[in-house]
Each structure stands twice: as C-alpha cells, then as structure tokens.
Amino acid sequence: MSRITQVHRILEQKHLDAIIILSDYNRRYLSGFTGTSGALIISKDKQYLITDFRYIDQATKQAPNYEIINRKSTIIGEIKELLHQENFENVGFEGHHVSYDTYLELNKSRISLISISNTVDKIRDVKDADEIALIQKAADIVDETYEYILTVAKAGMTEKELKAILESKMLELGADGPSFDTIVASGHRGALPHGVASDKIIEKGDMITLDFGAYFNGYCSDITRTFAIGEPDPKLKEIYQIVLESQMKAINEIRPGMTGAEADAISRNYLESKGMEKNLDIH
C-alpha cells in the first residue's frame, strides 16, 4: 500500500476533508521534498505542497505528484487561503508538531481542526524495503568509520581532533552528515552521559566512549562503542568483558514477538548475576 493511500485511509477513518502536514520528516516521507520550508495539504482528490520561490524547481522535481504552490504570504496564511478555496471543513493536523500559536492562527479559518497526533508517524513505524536499505547503508557507514578510528586513534590527540577525523570519514563514506552531535569522551569523562568532545588530551590506558551516527538520505544510524588506548586498568577490562557478554547474550536470545522489557531483561539479568545490579543507572 502506497504512503498516500495510507493517508487516504486516515481521511476516511477520521471523516476528514484534508490533512495538514507541517513536520519536516513527515513532509519528506510523504512527498520526497527535502527543502527546509514547506507544508503539505492532502485531500481525497488532491495533494498540495506549499513552499517559497527558492524551492519551486526543487519541489517540482522531488514531488511530481503534488501541485506546487509558490506562497505569496506566510505558509500558515497560504494554508488558510487554500482551505477556504477548497471549502474544506474537517481538517486534520499534527497536534504534536504544531505550536499553540500556529493552532490559534489556523483556527481563525473557522474550520473544524482535528488532531491526528502520531497518526502519520505510525505509518512510518513499518519500514519498506527501500527504507531498510537506506538504514542499512547508514549503519554500514558508521561500522566502517569505527573500524577506521581503531587504526588512527592514539594517545596525544585531543577528543576534538578525534571527532573531526571521525566525522570526516563518515562524509568520505557517503554520509550527508552526523545524525546528532558526536560524543567523544575519554578517561574519566567517559562517565558523562553526553560527553561532548573537549580539548582533553587522550592518554595511554584511557577508555574512549564514542556515540555517533550517520545521516544518509533522510535516515539515521546511531551506535555507541568503547575501546581502550593501550592496556586499560584491569578492573575496567573486567567490566568491559561482562558488558560485552551481556550484549552478546541478548543478541543471541532476542526473538520476534518479545517486548522491549523482555529483551532488556536478558542483558540486565546477566549483569545482575555478575554482581553489577548497583551499577545499572543508564539512560
């Protein structure tokens, strides 16, 4: 079932004349348009993409199944005008993506606004084959980047220097950019939950925590890895091995149909069996 067909089903189920899409991610998912400014209005019979003069050519190429509207006022103003022209009465909107001020402005159109929060997001929950391939590529980029980092990370460089090398490698491998702020935390800074790379110099024996991901064609990867520069403290090495064993146990035993809590328990129970129940404060 196509993405637009699924939106049409929402219209039917919710008894809506149209749906307004303001989320950047949902806009791209439903139309293919990657510009930074725009909105969709989808009805049973028509699909509109409202943007500004900068993106008309791009929108025309990326969203061939949409009628492109070059806005003359604000996006919200253009939406209100279009809703009025089409005589739409019951209109869905993404409540969790719309600010209160925007809601009030839309409400001046004297239409019936119905929140469809998370409805389109739920369509995105199930990935098609093309999406899975893009996610796999994003994951492959970070895997290859990590293998490269293991060969170049050394004592004497700063965390910021290592971050720069890491992000440059991801771009070289095809990433559009990092999927979030790259974390590089060495030594005692590894205890920080979100250790933004600093000017700290990496030392021999340091454990380095990397938390990074690649953004590729609209999809993200995210991995966290910890490794040592030289020989780490024996206690840290012991803990590292226990955590690795718990991870591998979960990977080997997780099955389709499990809940997240059940999958988590596989690893958590193993850690507790090793006496680490007091050290499981994680996010």
CB 124 within 8 A of CB 135: no
192 within 8 A of 207, measured Cβ to Cβ: no
- The pLDDT tens digits for 15-66 are 999 999 999 999 999 999 999 999 999 999 999 999 999 999 999 999 999 9
For the chain, domain boundaries: 3-124, 129-232, 234-282
Q: Domain 129-232 is of which CATH architecture?
A: Alpha-Beta Complex (3.90)
Class of domain 3-124: alpha beta
Residues contacting 199, CB < 8 A, separation 6+: 158, 159, 160
Q: Which residues of 181-211 are buried (b: 16+ CB within 10 A; e: fewer)?
A: ebbbbbbebbeeeebebeebebeeebbbbbb
Cα angle at 72 between 68 and 76, to 5 degrees?
80
Residue where the block lists tokens 């070289």: 172
| Structure confidence by residue, pLDDT tens digits, 184-240 | 999 999 988 888 999 999 999 999 999 999 999 999 999 999 999 999 999 999 999
DSSP state of 37: S
State the alpha helices, DSSP H only, in the chain.
Answer: 3-14, 24-31, 56-62, 75-85, 100-107, 119-125, 129-152, 159-172, 234-253, 260-273
Average of per-residue pLDDT across 156-162 = 98
Q: Residue 109: which pLDDT band, with cuts at 50, 70 and 90?
A: confident
pLDDT in tens, 112-158: 999 998 899 999 999 999 999 999 999 999 999 999 999 999 999 99
Look up the pTM and report it.
0.86
**Residue 32 region by backbone torsions, left for phi larger than 0, else alpha for psi between -120 and 50, else beta:** left
Rounded (5°) CA angle 184-190-193: 85
Residues 227/208, Cβ–Cβ less than 8 Å: yes
